Structure 1
Amino acid sequence: MLAQQRQQAILERVRRNGAARVADLVRELGVSDMTIRRDLEVLAERGLIEKVHGGATATGAGSTEEPGFAAKSVRQQPEKEAIARRAASLVRPGTSVALSAGTTTWTLAHHLLDVPELTVITNSVQVADVFHRSGRPDQTVVLTGGVRTPSDALVGPVAVAAIRRLNVDTLMLGVHGMNARAGFTTPNLLEAETDRELVGAAQQLVVLADHTKWGTVGISTIAKLEEAHVVISDVGLPEDARAALSDQAGSLLITDPSETAQVVAQ
């Protein structure tokens, strides 16, 4: 296969799925890791894709454009891991915690598998699957039901009705974007409604958002910055964002992905 044909195949895959991993492209196209990375560089220079850690995503994102779970899963992986570890340290045994849909909360779910006697409420198919595969007998998992979105969230009247009857200690909320004016936002109107119900059901709101979420504004607001008791982000968060969040949110926790990587390597 010629380079031009290979790059076209990569572009079509990224546009079709919203993202592509280098490892998957190497296997499917039968070329080296370095060759795929060069192809991604060429496509990125032409503005056809966006290079991210471990792969590439489709370009462009309006206020109503909603990336799929696969597309988001390859973005800011080290940052999400660091944020998830810090969030997990806030969860105590024997408590109830709600996890919204998203790849950061999905990462967090893996770190909660060892927390005993935990009750988990979620509207995420992917998050529920993490706990289902673990099968820990002293953990209770409640999946809300609802209409499935591209990001594998369950939303709409069924989800809202289920959440409305619940009370949880803590909500771990993943968001599409955040800024000082719009607060925490999502590109999906039904998901915003469902997430707002989760916010109302929780005694404490903890928002998990890596630095790239600052300045991104989805069409619908889930919560204002001041509604968050804790916001967990990473060292890439710009100073103006830190100032706004420190001023309006209850507490801002900054994580360092490089420190997390060192812990994993030991």
Structure 2
Amino acid sequence: MKRTTKLTTLVAVMAALTNFAFADEKGNEIMNKVADFKKPAYSVTDVYMILTDKKGTQDSNGFREYGKEDGSKTYIVMDFKTGTNKGTRFLQITDDNGPDEKHIYLPALKSVRRVNSSEGSKAFMGSDATYDDLTTRDVSEDEHQYIGEEKMKVESGKEYDCYKIKEIPIDKKGTQYNYRMVWVDKETMYPIHTEMYDKNDKLIKVLEVLDIQKISGYDMPMENKLTNVQTGHSTTLKIAKVVALDQEIPARYFTQNFLTTGK
């Protein structure tokens, strides 16, 4: 949304301010709907993580992912089965009322350690995502500026009718990005294209959802691609199989003991 530079009356000034207030209100409304995206209480999926360098050389890792939604907490476990990360297991606990917890088991060390907040900018499993990228930001942590409506065609060729939102962190010390531009699909209310800009306002990463499918009543992102435009390296996450949805998973799967034993 562009702000006019020829404001000659108080009425015009107030009208402009009202428009901006409405834009922010609408941006917040949209991103709150995104945050309320319908997810299964339990999920088990088989996923491939494909790392591609700028020359096109690929490295593939396969893992089984377990997910649980439990009130204010979300649990995710990744159990790597194939590739260079085979034997590695990762647990993340997201709490709406407090900081996230991240724990990782590395087979070479045969032990579990907690990922500290100071490691947030480090790459996760050699991918283009950092540990901070894995953390879901609360809607209240950002200012959401409604830019307008726009068509967005992703790499797979599919075109979406979207809302365009600019997300600006309220506390810029707590994030590696100066701002994000987000395109939210109107039909699913899922962000299908996100651009991340560094502290110098230069584009650093692009996250695209290449395929969304409705499975058992849920809109599921089946293939995502995160590209570091500054290095030419990319990470693709592709769900090869949805094993189970809404089938209770034993609580032991979401513990540090499971990370150690795999049982």
TM-score by length of 2: 0.30
Structure label with greater radius of gyration = 2
The structure where helix makes up a greater share of residues is: 1
More strand by share: 2
